[in-house]
Amino acid sequence: MYSLNINTQQYNNYNTVKPLKATSVVSKDINNIKAPSFTSNPVMSQVPFNAALSASNLRTELSSKDEKNKYNQLLKLCDKNTKKQLNTLLKTGVLLNSASNDNSSTLDNLYKIATTPRAQGLNNIVILKDTIATLCDPHIITQQFGNIPDNLRPQVEALEKQNINHSQVSGASEIDVEHSGTCVASSIEFNLANKHPAEFARFAEGLSSPQMNVKKTIKMNNLADNTLDAIWLLNAFEIPYEAHDFDRATLTFAPDKNAIVRAHIQTVDKDALERSPLDVLMQSTFMQVGSQQAYDSITDKRGGKFNQNDKGLIEFEKTFTESVVEDKNKISVTYQTVDENARLIGYETDFNTMKKQITDALNLGENVIIGYTQVDGNNTIVNGHEITITGTKTDKDGKMIFICNDTDDNISKPVEYSEDYLLPKIHHAALPQAVVANDVNLVENWVEGLKTYKELKKQAQVGQQNQIQAAA
């Protein structure tokens, strides 16, 4: 789920989040359009080029004594299925890939997970198994919260009452999360595992360690052209960082303080189709980044200055989070025109341009995380959700089929949508700057963020004045 930022209003739809429905009807009518969705062969969902696994970096054989020792130690700790997955990672070049922020390999970080202490409440073998399984098939990532067992409910309820970000006006508990707002975070998690396996393993190791954080050095110009603007963004999002010079800064990524409770629950009481402990830690961390360090894993709610709603992330927050996690200059391009009443009234560009921009990004080896909307009979937006486009193919009629991953559909496989169905529903897409530089009037992240901040601050001041007048 994402919160849709419409002019000065925040449209929140977390109570109605639903995946796209699967039917065989295709129509161009935005009100009646149905989704021709079906599962596909996972192999077909792979984008032909993956920079992290390019031919020049691809290694599929253990060469040093250290690598062989680490691999054999992992084999001793793995069950039969995990051994097969580990061997698959070796044969596909994922295991020895070292395209991470500190040049450590996937193997290096899996070995650390297996042989060094994990945070209290976590289990080495569980985290190791989850990391290997996710790298072998990132489609198993889900945003579905698990139930809370009776013996742990008192502890979780006590933590909820201590939460300073969200007061319980009604007194009703909100720890039983039915509709997760982490679709942005889980999509970023999927993209990290799918496109940057060594970095994913490094995050998995750091976030599950006793320190429960991971440091990453990024380029300032991937946030803004001007270093001072990049500093403004880092300060605005309140992410801990150390600026080294005008070009680089080291950021500290960490989950919220209550994530360990959810991760422990999923360690000892995980059911099918629920999040793994690793999913909990990853998604909490990315929600923390986007919400200005104001997320709570107990209730799946957030605070922060850029969003008046307490669920999900808005476009600006999503783009910042993607940019720092991947250390890439991502631009969020808005395609739908929405009025102040959350009504879809048109599009900012034609569908051919939209399709070209998305496919250009795919051809560069990038996945494309998109936000789609669903409307009622009056074209009013009633639902918003984030999914990831990972590739395309062509049907027998020459129409493009988008191959996608959805972390909220309870399907651990790619799904496919025709261009006639999906394009009209796309509200925004995160694209590399190079793809859209000549097509749109680019607005840098910090400009959009400052505008959003001023608008929300003005609304808050007006609200306070109205309350004072009403009280008088």
Domain residue extents for the chain: 4-49+328-451, 52-166+173-317
Q: Which of 13-22, 148-157, 275-284 has the lowest mean pLDDT?
A: 13-22
Confidence check: pLDDT of 2 > 80: no
- Distance between CA atoms of residues 424 and 426, nearest Å: 6
pLDDT at 10: 35
Between 172 and 383, residue with greater pLDDT: 383
Confidence check: pLDDT of 32 > 50: no
Q: Which of 145-149, 236-240, 433-437 has the lowest mean pLDDT?
A: 433-437
Mean pLDDT of 417-442: 87
**Nearest partner of 161 among 299, 330, 329, judged by Cα:** 299
> Which residues on adjacent β-strands are paired with residue 394?
400
Q: Which of 25-34, 256-265, 428-437, 454-463 has the lowest mean pLDDT?
A: 25-34
Specify whether the CB–CB gap between 411 and 37 falls below 8 A: no
pLDDT confidence band for 224 (50 / 70 / 90): confident
SS3 417: strand
Confidence check: pLDDT of 444 > 60: no
How far from the centroid of its chain's Cα atoms is residue 64's Cα? Answer: 35
DSSP state at residue 129: H
Sign of the C-alpha dihedral, residues 131, 133, 136, 140? negative
pLDDT at 309: 86
Q: What is the pTM of this model?
A: 0.87
CATH 3.40.50 for domain 4-49+328-451, yes or no, is no
Q: Which of 22-31, 85-94, 128-137, 149-158 has the lowest mean pLDDT?
A: 22-31
Tokens 């961390």 locate to: 285
SS3 472: coil
CA distance from start to end of the chain? 39
pLDDT confidence band for 51 (50 / 70 / 90): low
pLDDT at 43: 33
**Nearest partner of 268 among 154, 160, 146, 155, judged by Cα:** 146
Confidence check: pLDDT of 144 > 80: yes
Between 131 and 223, residue with greater pLDDT: 131
Highest mean pLDDT pick, 34-43, 221-230, 232-241: 232-241
pLDDT above 70 as % of the chain: 80
pLDDT confidence band for 9 (50 / 70 / 90): very low
Mean pLDDT of 326-332: 91
